[in-house]
Amino acid sequence: MTLLSPSFLATLDQLVLVTRRARVGTFKGERKSPRRGGSVEFADYREYAPGDDFRQIDWNAYARMEKLFLRLFVEEEDATVHVLLDASESMRWGDKWQYAQKLAAALGYIALLGMDRLSAAAISASARELTLMRALRGKAYALQFFNWLTALECGGVASPQAALVRYAANVRRAGPLLLISDLMDDPSSLRAGSWQSAIQKLSERSYEITLLHILAPDELEPALEGDLKLLDSENNSAIEITADYDLLERYRARVREWQSEWSRFSSARGINYLPITTSQSFEELVLNYLRRQQILK
C-alpha cells in the first residue's frame, strides 16, 4: 500500500512541526535549543571570562563601554518527535485506519525532513500493548518509516494506560507528541476513562501533546433504522436497539458531549485537542487545518 503519493510528499517539504518550547537535543538540527552556540541568529550578550573564544567578542560594545562582552547565538538542535498510533480493533471501522496511517506518515515525514529524531509506536492488544519502532533521523529513513507503518495491523482491545506508561519508560526524551486515535475504550458506551487516565500520565511529563481524535462519518451520524443488534467491535458483546429518531438524537448529543469532555480535559492540561472526521479531505487536513491549529507551519 502506498501511503502518500510523490506529489503530495513534495508539498510537505516546506512544512515543519511546531514546538512551543526550545529543548536540548542530541544532534545538530533545525530547532532552537536552550543552549547557546554558533548559528547566525543572535540570542544575547554575556561578559567575557578567561578561556572564552575571542572571536565571539563584540568589539563595538567594547568601544562604547570599555568592557568585553561575548555575543551568544542560538544553538540549533534536533527535537524528539513522538508519533503514537492507536491500532486497536475499533480503528478498523470505516476508513479510520487507512486515514490514521496516512496522517502518521505525513507527520513523521515532516519530522524527518526537519532533521528531528522520530520515535513511533502503535498501541494494540498484541506485542504487550505496544509496538515500538527504532528511532529514526533524516529524510533518508522515510521509506523505512512508511514500511513500518504499512506492516502494522489493527487488533484486539488495547490497554492505553499500560501502553503509554511503557512507552514513556522506553523513550524518555520528551518533545512534541502526536497521538492519533478514536479514543474508544468501549465503543458501545463511549467511555473515555481509560484513555484519559493514560493521557493524564503523559501530561505529567514534559511532552507537548496533541490529540488527533479521528472518527468516521457514520460514527457521528449513523444511518440506522429499525430493530437492530449491534456488536462491539472490540469485545463482540451485543446490544439490541430500536433505531428511531429519538434514539439517534440522543446518540448524536452524547457524541457531541463526549467530544466536549475531551476538549475540556485537554484544555485544562495544555493539550491540543483536534476532532477530525475521515470525510475531511486529507490534503485539506494536513495543508490547511493543521496549520490553522498551529500544529504545522
Q: What is the pLDDT of residues 216-254, one digit of tens each?
A: 998 998 766 555 456 555 555 667 666 666 777 888 899
Beta bridge partners of 120: 83
What share of residues in the chain are helix, strand, coil (percent, to 5)? 40, 30, 30
Residue 219: all three cell numbers together: 460514527
User: Hey, how many other C-beta atoms are within 10 angstroms of the C-beta on 69?
Assistant: 19
Percent share of the chain, pLDDT over 70: 74
Domain boundaries, the chain: 29-77, 79-292
Domain 79-292 has CATH 3.40.50.410: yes
Beta bridge partners of 128: none
Q: Name residue, grid cell 515543519.
A: 16
Global pTM exceeds 0.75: yes
Q: What is the pLDDT of residues 66-109, one digit of tens each?
A: 788 766 654 445 689 999 999 998 899 999 999 999 999 999 99
d(C-alpha 190, C-alpha 18), whole Å:
31
Task: Share the mean pLDDT of the chain.
Answer: 81
Residue 79: all three cell numbers together: 527535537
